[in-house]
A and B are shown apart, each in its own frame.
Chain A
Amino acid sequence: MSVDLLGTDSAAAVEVRGVSRVFKAKGGPVTALHEINLRIEPGELFGLLGPNGAGKSTLIKILSTLLLPSAGSASIFGLDVVTETDRVRRIMNLVAGGDFSGYGLLTVREQLAMFAQFYGMPYREGMRRVDEQIEAFGIGEIKDRKISALSTGQRQKLNFARSFLNEPWILFLDEPTIGLDVSAARDVRDRVRAFQAAQPGRTVLLTTHYMAEADEMCDRIAIVDHGRILAQGTPAELKRMVQKESLFIVGVDALPPTMSVANLRAIPGVISVAMRDEATFDATGVGSPTTRLAIGLKEDGALGGVISALAGAGAHLREISKSEPTLEEVFVQLVGRGIAESSEEPRSE
C-alpha cells in the first residue's frame, strides 16, 4: 500500500486512516484517539487545535514514530509509520514546547553539531548547516554559550534550529510556543514560514491551544476534543460553519422617526435586527449619541437594501463593519465549552 502511494505523485504528506489509541490506566483503559481520519497535503501548515487531553500530542507521537496506534494506520509521504519507521525518521523532525533537551555542558554550536551527526549528514555539510541555522535564528552571539546558561526563549530557538538541520519534509511542532514571550513566539513563527517557503512541499503539523496562533499560521485546522476530530477546514471555512448569517454592525446618528426596527426587518434578506443606543466621542472628547444596529442577513448582498433604506429615511451613516466569529467562538460552539475551561481537565495523553 505504502509503496503504491509513494510511487504516485498523489501521496499525501500525512495520511491517517482510522487511527485509535488506547492507554492502560489505573481506572481502566483510556481512549485517547477514536478512529481518526486525516489527510494533509504536501506543503500545508496544518493545525490541531484542542485543549489538553484532546489527543493532539498522542496523534503527533504516533506520526513521529514515538507511539504505536492501537488500531488503524498512518503514513508520512506514503511511508508507513509502523513498518517503515527508519525511513520516516529520515525525513522528519520534532519540536515540543517546554523542551529542555540537550547537555548543559555543551555550547549551542556543539549541541547542534552533535545532532547534525545524528541526522546523518556528512560532517562538513552538517557544520555548514549548523552555522546556517545559527545565523538564521540570530543566535550567533550565544553560539559559544553553554546550554545550561540559556533562557527559555533561547533554548526554544535552539530547538527549532536543531529541527531544521536535516531539512525535514515533515516537521511536527507540539505546542512549540508554550512559555515563550510574544516577541520570541513571533520570531519562531516567522522562521517556520520561511522554512516552508524555502522548499515547496515541506509540511508542518502544529498542535496548539492558542487560537490566535492557529488562526494566523495554519492553512487548515482540525478541532480535536476527547480524541475525535470535530471539524476541519481552513480558518475561514470553520468560521462559516458556525455563522448561520452574515452579521453587520451599522452605526447611525439616530434612527429617523420614519424608520423602525420592524421596517428594517421587513427588508428582503434581513433575518434579524438588534438596536443599541450608545455615545461616541471625537478627538476633543465631545460625545454624540449613536445608534448601533446589529443586522443579520441571509447573505452579504442584502446589505445594499438596508443601506438604501436607512439613507432614504435620512439616517446619517457613521460606520459599517462586518462581524466574523473568532476561532474561540467556533471552538465553543463545536466543543460546548471554552478552550481554557477544557484545558483544566485531567490529561489522558
Chain B
Amino acid sequence: MAAVRTSSEVALNRVAIAAVLVATLVFLAPIYWIASTAFKPKELAVSVPPTVLFEPEVTPFVRLFTKRVQMQKTVDPQVYDAAPWWEKRIYDGGERVLKVGKDVQLSQYPDRFMNSLIVAVISTVLAVGMGTFTAYGFSRFKIAGEADLLFFILSTRMLPPVVVAIPMFLMYRAVGLNDSHIGLIILYVAFNLSFSVWLMKGFMDEIPKEYEEAALVDGYTRMQAFFKIVLPEAATGIAATAVFCFITAWNEYAFALIMTNRRAQTAPPFIPSQIGSGLPDWTTIAAGTFLFLLPVAIFTFLLRNHLLRGVTFGAIRK
C-alpha cells in the first residue's frame, strides 16, 4: 500500500516512532533502576540527586550471599592482605564476613533461591506433563459436556489465591504439609494445570489428525502414535507451555507467603522480608531482585513469539 504517502503521513509516522522510543525508555526505567542499584556502592543507591551513571561495584552481591558483622576496630593488615579481593571490598565498607573456620557463612538467599528453583521446576514438569495428556484427550476425543469441563478447568485458574489458601492452610496443617516443598508444589501444579491444559489444547488442535491416522493405518497403536508422532510435533508447544508455567510458579507470592515461612520459603516472600526495620540496604535488595528477575527476562525473549497465546490461554494465536 506504499502507493500514496503524503508528507503529513510521513511526519506523523516519525512522531509516532519517536513516541514509541520515549515510551520504551519510560517503561524500562524501573527495570534499569533495579539492575543499576544492584551494582551501586551503598551510598549511591540513596543519593540526591539520584545516580544514573557510576562505576559498577560487586559488593551488593557479596553482601547478598554472606553473613556479616560491623567491625568494631580496624582490621589486622595481615588478615586484610590475605583476604580475597571481594572480601577486601567488604572490609573497606567497615564490615567483616562471618566465617566458621575457613568457610564463609552463607546468607539465607541461596537457600531461598534454590527453593524457588526446586518448586518451580518440579511443579512445571508435573503441570505440563498432565496438561499435555489431558489436552490431547480434549483435542482428539469426543467428550460429553466438553465446553463445561473446559470452563471448569479454566475457572480453577481464576480462583483468588488467598481464597484457596485459607482451607488449604488448614488441611496442610492437619497433615503436616505446611512449610514443605511438596505442599507448595501441589498448589502450583493445581494452579498451572488449567493453564497448561488450555494452552496445550491450542497446540494439539494445530497438529493435523491425519498424521496419527496414517500411523494407525500403518499398524501403530494409539499410544504409540501419541508418543512417536504427536509428542514430537508438539515439542515447541510443550516448551512454550513449560516456560510459562515456570515463570508463573517462579513469580508466585501469595501462596508462598501463606504456606511457607522458613524451610521451604521461596524468593518472592523472602526478598520483601529483607527490608526489615530501619534504613533498608537497597543495593542488597536490588542484587537479590536482579538475580531473581534475570531468568524471567531471558525467558521472555525466548518466548516472544508465544506471549500472546500464553496470556490468552491459547485462545488468540496471532
Asked if A and B are interacting partners, one says: no
Q: Which residues of B contact A (CB under 8 A)?
A: none
Hey, which bits of chain A sit against chain B, CB under 8 A? none
